Amino acid sequence: MLTKRIIPCLDIKDGRTVKGVNFKNLRDAGDPVELAEKYANEKADELVFLDISATEQKRKTLYKLVLDVAASLDIPFTVGGGIKSIKDVSLLLKNGADKVSINSSAVYRPELINEVSTHYGSQCLVVAIDAKKINNKWKVHLVGGKVSTDIDLFKWAKEVESRGAGEILFTSMDNDGTKNGFANDAIAKLSNQLNIPIIASGGAGTEEHFKETFTVGKADAALAASVFHFGKISIPSLKNKLKRQNIAVRI
């Protein structure tokens, strides 16, 4: 049985870790390097670093900060934000990333998914999808949730898989930062329709929410930020509880 993964996420803006609610009202959550060291010591399964303002500001990811964070890690490290080309991917991999995450750029130029998976392998590529319910239908949003589209979440996810993505990081904008639980209806639908791993994101507030997304949502991994950053949930405690509930996790 494949183990379920627990993944802290560092949302980066102006060199600091930040966190908001529904992608808004960001507040400081700490130094990225210090947090990375903390999560590695707590045996997080992976770490995700998202430079959330790179696309909006039309700039590249913060390579020096990526290098500094990578130096403190001994767990898989995924980096996203402002990636538009194979050259960008190459620079991030050279600076210590194990995987890259693309989001808006994949929608603007879907061929980028094919290019990255062909050059570096699908195991290196996570496609992130931010979506929210509009008239009861899940619609994809871009540029850190600031740009709405009429693209259907599930159709886009299928195309992403067909183009060679290794995983999908799905964030429910409606659930993000609310601590009310993950969008398990959408996560379960993605899990049932696709053959690649689904990382659930948006809404973690309790240890029970992680169990629910693994069982009800059938997620392969669960990503969270504020509950870890602000000490509401500790990763060792969470993993021990999941193990007691017969969910396969790496202790």
Cα(136)–Cα(138) distance, integer angstroms: 7
> Residue 167 — left, alpha, or beta (φ > 0 → left; ψ -120 to 50 → alpha)?
beta
Catalytic residue, candidates 51, 88, 130, 220: 130
- Please identify which residue in the block is written with the tokens 């430079």: 51
- Please identify which residue in the block is written with the tokens 């979440």: 153
Q: Residue 232 belongs to what H/E stretch? A: none
For residue 12, give Cα distances in angstroms to 17, 20, 40, 179, 216.
5, 12, 18, 20, 30
> Residue 8 — left, alpha, or beta (φ > 0 → left; ψ -120 to 50 → alpha)?
beta
Cα(79)–Cα(96) distance, integer angstroms: 9
220 noted as active-site residue: no
Beta strands in 154-207 (DSSP E): 167-172, 198-201
Cα(135)–Cα(235) distance, integer angstroms: 36
DSSP state letter for 4: B
45 noted as active-site residue: no
For the annotated catalytic residues, the residue numbers are: 11, 130
